[in-house]
Amino acid sequence: MRVLVVEDDHQVARQLAKALSKMAYAVDIAHNGEDGEYFGQSESYDAVILDLGLPKKEGLSILQHWRQEGRMMPVLVLTARDTWREKVTGLRAGADDYLTKPFEMEEVVARVEALIRRATGQVNPIITWGPLRLDTSSQQVTLDNIPLELTALEFRTLSYFLHHPSAIISKTRLTEHIYNQDFDLDSNVIEVLINRLRKKLGQSFIITHRGKGYQLSTFNEHA
């Protein structure tokens, strides 16, 4: 899962990125409105944290432009001004949630988790797929009730599959949602990652659709 943080306060942005990275999210940061708007237009994100008081271009204008262009990623708006009128304006502009500064990092992460779940049709923080169980809040994964040890990247990948359980996910789409901009990609990095997951989940758990991508197999195949 990949998140964009648009925040001009460098310390707050670093703290947000650190908290999200700790929960296995890939994180990109923009420190002004122009860069933030461009990232949101040109990259694929599962959620955005957007400050309203930004230099170069204000957050509300950015949000309105994204929605006008059909960008539907969930957006958590941050603001230092706690007025109900501003909240109403932000929500009507397309915000999915609102948080007033100062805030606790744990609450931000929890709200991002909830936004991503709702956007993908998941209402429960615990996602199951046959014998597989993934807890988005604790990052615990079990297979047949046996805990699995996954790297942050493996967890991020599996989480993306489970949030889109019936979809055939192309290499390009997977790459866009599990790596941040600074990651140096090799040509076969996705194949290597999928093979690593198959070794831990079982070879038949992830199906290859030649020329199209990958998909979770039905849980009946693991009965």
Tens of pLDDT, residue by residue over 69-114, are 999 999 999 987 767 777 788 888 889 999 988 899 999 999 999 9
pLDDT the model gives residue 186: 63
Question: Which long-range contacts link 51-57 to residues 24+ away (Cβ below 8 Å)?
Answer: 51/6, 51/7, 51/8, 51/9, 51/77, 51/78, 51/79, 52/77, 52/78, 52/79, 52/81, 52/86, 52/90, 53/8, 53/79, 53/80, 54/6, 54/7, 54/8, 55/8, 56/32, 57/32, 57/33
pLDDT the model gives residue 17: 96
pLDDT the model gives residue 208: 94
Q: How far is CA 71 from the centre of its chain?
A: 15
Yes or no: domain 126-222 corresponds to CATH 1.10.3720.10? no
Q: Which fold has domain 2-119?
A: Rossmann fold (3.40.50)
| Domain spans in the chain, listed from the N-terminal domain onward | 2-119, 126-222
